[in-house]
Homo-oligomer: A and B are copies of this chain.
Amino acid sequence: MKIITISREFGSGGRELGKRLSDILGFDYYDKEILAEMAKNKGMDENYLGNMLDNHGWRNIPLMYHHSFAGMAMPFNQADIMLEQKNVIEEIAKAGKDCIIVGRNADVLLQEYEPFSIFVCADMEAKKKRCLERAPAGENHTPKEMERKIQQIDKNRARTREIITDSEWGAACSYNLTVNTSGWEIKELAPGVAEFAQRWFARTNK
Contacts and interface: CB of A to CB of B under 8 A. Distances in A.
Contact of A199 (B114, B176, B189): B189
Interface in A189-205: 189, 191-193, 195-196, 199-200, 203-205
Given A178-B178, A192-B195, A195-B195, A200 B173 contact: no
Chain A residues touching B, majority SS: mixed
Nearest to A174: B180
B188 A204 contact: yes
Contacts of A193: 196
Contact of A183 (B176, B192, B196): B176
Interface stretch (A33-41, A57-65, A116-124, A128-136): A116-124
A14 interface: no
Contact of A121 (B173, B192, B196): B173
A200 to B, nearest CB: 7
8 contacts: A170-B172, A171-B172, A172-B180, A177-B178, A178-B178, A178-B179, A192-B195, A192-B199
Interface of A: 114, 119, 121-123, 170-173, 175-180, 182-185, 188-189, 191-193, 195-196, 199-200, 203-205
Given A170-B172, A176-B180, A195-B195, 20 more contacts: A114-B183, A171-B172, A172-B178, A172-B180, A173-B182, A175-B178, A175-B180, A177-B179, A183-B200, A183-B203, A183-B205, A184-B203, A184-B205, A188-B199, A188-B203, A188-B204, A189-B203, A192-B192, A192-B195, A193-B196
